Chain A
């Protein structure tokens, strides 16, 4: 499968714990995006990388969130000291030309 891959698909964590998600983009895509989606909303932009450089961050990305893309390949999104409001679907997308392709998402539930 050469699509965008996200791991894990589901994560249940206790409030206050740290979680890390991984995204493997389509190999020739130099741009990688993280989005968050909650019920009844469209995907909301979090951050974006071109190769290894993080070019843009949304104000939704509080200090508890950090994203990396070492070597311009896979990316990780870490949430520290999780809160119940962090419960959402976290989506990764990669893009080379005009169309962005999404992974299956990671469903985070904070209890």
Chain B
């Protein structure tokens, strides 16, 4: 049973427009959420995170929104750039497993393509 779901395997966006990547989770005990970006043959690179006590966190072009009642989070990239083309993973930490320092549970990823 997959606890973190990214239902869109791929997303294509025009350069300069907004990219919205979505993530749903099933376990209400998750207390910390992270987004990672991954290029082929490299390890995931940390992008942005959000604690369950917040509903928004912004860092430059990247904003993460958390809707706890819907068990849903999203990553917004504005404006999108061709260099943003990569696979994006959503991850969550379980409070009972050490909370924000515990094991990360990942979704399957969404491949973003930003076209010039």
Q: Which residue of B has the minimal Cβ distance to A92? A: B43
Q: A100-B46, A105-B42, A107-B41 are in contact. Are A42 and B101 (CB under 8 A)?
A: no
Say yes or no: A33 contacts B108, CB within 8 Å.
Answer: no
* Range for the number of chain A residues in contact with chain B: 20 to 34
B109 to chain A, nearest CB (A): 5
The reply to whether B104 and A45 form a contact with Cβ atoms under 8 Å apart is: yes
- 18 contacting pairs across A/B (C-beta < 8 A): A31-B101, A33-B103, A41-B108, A42-B4, A42-B6, A43-B44, A43-B104, A45-B104, A45-B105, A56-B103, A98-B32, A98-B100, A98-B101, A99-B34, A99-B46, A99-B49, A102-B46, A104-B42
A interface residue numbers (CB < 8 A to B): 4, 6, 31, 33, 35, 40-45, 48, 55-56, 91, 93, 95, 97-105, 107
Chain B residues within 8 Å of A, Cβ to Cβ:
4, 6, 32, 34, 36, 41-46, 49, 51, 89, 91, 93, 97-98, 100-109
